[in-house]
A and B are shown apart, each in its own frame.
Chain A
């Protein structure tokens, strides 16, 4: 069977964002996959150097819509470490709460999109209907559904009022009960099992060798979670389980993420029930003393690492952000090869790619196409 090369993206219904995958097919079987991402490269790191730390928070928050809190918390922790500022306990607790709410928001969003990728639009509609509860909680706490901007250097900008607490707890109960239903659907619906079991295999050793992170790594049996291994904020004092599964396939990732939603609901409840008293922020001078620092944070998609270097002025000298999705691209090419064309969207969706996180840019070279003559004719209007 002659090989045909089919481009997936950058504008493609399967991809919420521009990313390009050049797949070499033999019939329906994928034999070669080249990953090309980075259409979202906006040059944020250079822009960070031209703005003050305070303005950088809002710039870094907009690296990715779904893990905005992850990036701002990581960045604020870095700047606070440089300025040797002691963040009050209540602020750290609120950061953990919003962080876990964001994990709920991100995982439920992913479960819906994964359903859409395999044609299960009903799951997409139902999961996103229930996700509205999390969006309401975040809008209540942060004032905006997606960019909650709760962080500032030295603590948080808004407090959790008592009546908010009762509303949040009510919503979390509804969410927990619905998520239990989705655990059942995810493990028992036959067509979903048929589409996810045994697809996008990533064995344990390959996952470690290629440096995968987050649920993709934990679904291959590797027990790594920055919240427990490198405890930041209040995670050292909270007890929570790190979910792993040794299925190494897309179904394993579905199970890990859905169970993580249940785990996050428990954490949110625990934080809400014993919210420490005290101020919510501490004053930090605008000029940060020179130094360099590395901070790591467990974003919904995996380990998010920031490196900030300051030179004593009020503008950072270098800000380096490596979002979790970039680490998973290497294992993505490995997962795609050997699968079928029909599996490509769900395999791509399985690492929950956030192209804007990847923040990198590449272009497909239009001239290179497959060998089959019909397909060498490009789509022309």
Chain B
């Protein structure tokens, strides 16, 4: 049998209760402990076996041998999303370097499991938005 204005109680209730909205940029929802966000690489214990490269479904990780003083690193500001090339001095006894192509990575964390030396881990970063280089100035 039909009951007109079925959701009336729910709607009027809505007017007097706090909205169920999390004001995102100001209030943040805490991410569960085993969330699969951006992958972090810890160079010291990496032996360069490339098992992670073999198991990556979207070919997003590159492990390469590395000597030399310093290297360029495309730094993306988490706040504004601009890209800047930054020179990072390499003083640590690093023998391997991992290059993650974040636009290809699907954050499945299979590499974290395939790594025998456990030098990869998932972080809880998910705000990885980057501005494209060719924003056309809006013509009036």
* Residues of chain A whose beta carbon lies under 8 Å from any beta carbon of chain B: 51-52, 54-55, 57-59, 62, 122-123, 126, 129, 136, 139-140, 143-144, 147, 149, 157-158, 181, 184-185, 188-190, 193
Q: Is the CB of A193 within 8 A of B34?
A: no
Give Cα A144 to B124, complex, Å.
Answer: 11
Q: Which residue of B lies closest to A145 (CB)?
A: B35
| Chain A residues near B122 (CB-CB < 8 A) | 143
Q: Is the CB of A58 within 8 A of B7?
A: no
* Residues of chain B whose beta carbon lies under 8 Å from any beta carbon of chain A: 1-4, 6-7, 10-11, 20, 31-32, 34-36, 55-58, 106-110, 113, 122
Q: Is the CB of A140 within 8 A of B108?
A: no
Q: Is the CB of A188 within 8 A of B2?
A: yes
Known: A54-B55, A185-B7. A143 touches B34 (CB 8 A): yes
Known: A129-B20, A139-B35, A143-B36. A54 touches B3 (CB 8 A): no
**Consensus secondary structure, chain A interface:** helix
How far, in Å, is B57 (CB) from chain A's closest CB? Answer: 4
| Chain B residues near A54 (CB-CB < 8 A) | 55, 110
Give Cα A28 to B113, complex, Å.
Answer: 57
Partner of B32, one of A123, A140, A149, A184: A140
Q: Which residue of A lies closest to B35 (CB)?
A: A143
Known: A62-B106, A144-B35. A184 touches B6 (CB 8 A): yes
| Chain A residues near B34 (CB-CB < 8 A) | 143, 158
Known: A129-B20, A143-B36. A189 touches B108 (CB 8 A): no
How far, in Å, is B99 (CB) from chain A's closest CB? Answer: 19
| Chain B residues near A55 (CB-CB < 8 A) | 55-57, 110
Q: Is the CB of A188 within 8 A of B57?
A: no
How far, in Å, is B86 (CB) from chain A's closest CB? Answer: 30
Q: Is the CB of B10 within 8 A of A58?
A: no
Give Cα A149 to B58, complex, Å.
Answer: 15
Give Cα A147 to B108, complex, Å.
Answer: 8
| Chain A residues near B1 (CB-CB < 8 A) | 188
Give Cα A313 to B110, complex, Å.
Answer: 21
Q: Which residue of B lies closest to A47 (CB)?
A: B57
Which among B7, B36, B110 has the greatest number of chain A C-beta atoms within 10 A? B7
How far, in Å, is B105 (CB) from chain A's closest CB? Answer: 11
Q: Is the CB of B106 within 8 A of A58?
A: yes
Q: Which residue of A lies closest to B113 (CB)?
A: A157
How far, in Å, is B33 (CB) from chain A's closest CB? Answer: 9
How far, in Å, is A375 (CB) from chain B's closest CB? Answer: 34
Known: A58-B110, A129-B20, A139-B32. A122 touches B4 (CB 8 A): no
| Chain B residues near A189 (CB-CB < 8 A) | 2-3, 6-7
How far, in Å, is B102 (CB) from chain A's closest CB? Answer: 16
Q: Is the CB of B32 within 8 A of A126?
A: no
Give Cα A337 to B50, complex, Å.
Answer: 57
Give Cα A147 to B57, complex, Å.
Answer: 14
Interface pairs A-B: 4 shortest CB-CB: A190-B2, A58-B57, A55-B57, A143-B36
